[in-house]
Amino acid sequence: MEKHEKIFRLVGSNIKTYRKKAKLTQQELANKFSGDRTKISLIENGKENFMFSTLLDIAEGLNVDVKKFFLPIKKD
């Protein structure tokens, strides 16, 4: 397992969860910050070595504190 793979998967999974809670498609989220749908897909699947500025843009687009991407989401 790549050194940072676990955190990439956690962050990606959390972004996907928050995006779905916001009822946004990947394209709609990408449009909120002039992003790319493909990049959102890669991040959500833990396959993108993202820049922190991209995470800040995504967090703003989802109206979520960026630190929540790094914490396990409690299942209801």
Tell whether 11 is covered by a domain.
yes
Domain span at residue 38 reads: 5-69
Is residue 34 one of the residues assigned to a domain? yes
CATH number at residue 55: 1.10.260.40
Q: What is the pLDDT of residue 76?
A: 61
75 inside domain: no
Residue 3 confidence (pLDDT) above 80: no
Residue 76 lies in a domain: no
Per-residue pLDDT at 73: 85
Whether residue 39 is contained in a domain is answered as: yes
Number of compact structural domains in the chain: 1
Burial of 28 (0-12, 13-18, 19+ CB in 10 A): middle
Q: To which H or E segment does residue 16 belong?
A: helix 5-21
For the stretch 15-69, pLDDT in tens is 999 999 999 999 999 999 988 999 999 999 999 888 999 999 999 999 999 999 9
Q: Give a yes or no: residue 74 inside a domain.
A: no
